[in-house]
Chains A and B, each alone.
Chain A
Amino acid sequence: MAAGGESPVHQFQVFDLIPIKLGKVDLSFTNASLWMVVAVGLIVLVMTLGANRRALIPGRLQSLGELGYDFIANLVRENVGSEGKKYFPFIFTLFMFVLFCNVLGMVPYSFSVTGQIIVTFALALTVFIGVTIIGIAKNGIGFLRLFAPAGVPIFVLPLLIPIEIISYFVRPVSLSVRLFLNIMVGHTMLQVFAGFVILLGFAGIGPLIFIVVFIGFELFVAVLQAYIFAILSCLYLHDALHPHH
C-alpha cells in the first residue's frame, strides 16, 4: 500500500476479503484477520518444527524456540514468583502473538494488526478480566485490600479508594494504548518520510537514510513492546496473587 498520493494512515484501513454476514452481525474475514491467522500459523510452525528434532545441540529453529521459552519462563518466575508457573502458557502465548504481529507488520505490504486499537484493547481486556478472576478466586474478599493500602489514615480513605479503583480500571486502557500508539505512530512516521523521498527528488537521499535507520529502530520497538506487554501482564498477575502491596 505504498503508492504515492495515498494518505499516510491509509495503511491502517481494514477491508473485507471474504464478506460473511450472520443476521446483523458482521463476521467478515478481513485483512486484519488474515494477518492474525498468518501470525498464529507462523508461531505454530516455528514451535512445532523447533520441538520436532529435540537435538542435544539445538539447530536454528530449536534454539529460537528454546530462547523464547527460557525468556518467558524467567520473566514469569522473576515477576510473579514460583506460583506463577501455572500461568506461563498464557503469558507465553500472549508474548508470541504480540511479537509476531508486531514484527510481521514490519514486512512491506503487510498489515500491522497491533496498530488497531480494538485488537490491542481486546488483548488487554482479556488479561484484565482473567487477572481479576484469578485474584478473586485466590483471595476471595481479601482481593479488595488491593484498593485500600495498609497504613493510610482513615480520613483519607474515602478519597483514596475511588482513585485506587479507577487506577485499577485504567490498566487495560494504558496497556492497550501503549502498544497501539507505538506501532501506529511508527508506521505513520515511516509512511510520511517515504512520501518526502519522492517529493524531494535527488535530495530525498536524506529521508531515505533516515528511513533505513528508523526501520531498525521500529524493529527494536516491535520486540520491546511485546516484552513490555508481557511484563506488565506479569506484574498485574503478581498484584492479583498478592493483593497487599
Chain B
Amino acid sequence: MHGGVSDMSDDKQPPTLSKFDDELRQARARHDKEQGGGKSGLPVESGASAGYRVSVELFAGMLFGGGVGWFLDRWLGTRPWLLVGLFLLGSAAGLLNAYRAMKRAERESSGAVASKAGTKKE
C-alpha cells in the first residue's frame, strides 16, 4: 500500500519469497511481544465455573496429600503421623494452587479488558 497507483510499472514483481518470509517473521515477533508471552483469556468462562475450577484445585491438594500420607503410613507402619503431616502440606499446596489459579483468572480478565481498550484507542 506504500506506492499506490503511480509506481505500477516498476514495482510489478511480487515480493520475493525470502522477503515475504522476513516480513512474516517480524509480524510473528510483534505478535508475540504484544501478547507478552502471555495468556489468553477463557472467552466463555463465567465466574461460577472459574470458582469451580479453583475449588477443584483446593480439593485435589487435600486428596493428594491425604492419599499419599495414608499409603506411606500403611507401607512404613507410622500411622497416623505421615497422614497428618502430608495432609497439612497437601492442603497448603492446594491453597497455593488455588491462589495461583485465581491470580491467573484475574490477570486474564483484566488483561482481556486492557487489550480491548488498547485496540479501541489506536
Contact B39 A177 (CB under 8 A): no
Dominant SS among interface residues on chain A: helix
Dominant SS among interface residues on chain B: helix
Contact B44 A224 (CB under 8 A): yes
Interface residue range, chain B: 20 to 34
Residues in A neighbouring B61, C-beta threshold 8 A? 166-167, 170, 174
Residues in A neighbouring B65, C-beta threshold 8 A? 166
Residues in A neighbouring B44, C-beta threshold 8 A? 220, 224
Q: How far is the CA of A75 from the CA of B42 in the complex (A)?
A: 10
Q: In angstroms, how far is the closest chain B Cβ from the Cβ of A217?
A: 11
Known: A177-B56, A178-B53. A82 touches B32 (CB 8 A): yes
Residues in A neighbouring B49, C-beta threshold 8 A? 224
Interface residue tally for chain A (C-beta within 8 Å): 26
Known: A82-B32, A178-B56, A231-B42. A170 touches B92 (CB 8 A): no
Q: In angstroms, how far is the closest chain A Cβ from the Cβ of B28?
A: 7
Q: How far is the CA of A207 from the CA of B38 in the complex (A)?
A: 44
Contact A167 B28 (CB under 8 A): no
Partner of A163, one of B38, B60, B93: B93
Contact B40 A163 (CB under 8 A): no
Partner of A78, one of B39, B63, B97: B39
Q: How far is the CA of A82 from the CA of B31 in the complex (A)?
A: 10
Task: Write the residues of chain A forming the contact surface with B, with a CB cutoff of 8 angstroms.
Answer: 74-75, 78-79, 81-82, 162-164, 166-167, 169-171, 173-174, 177-178, 181, 220, 224, 227-228, 231, 235, 242
Given A173-B60, A174-B59, 6 other A-B residues pairs in contact with their CB atoms under 8 A = A81-B32, A82-B32, A162-B89, A163-B89, A177-B59, A181-B56
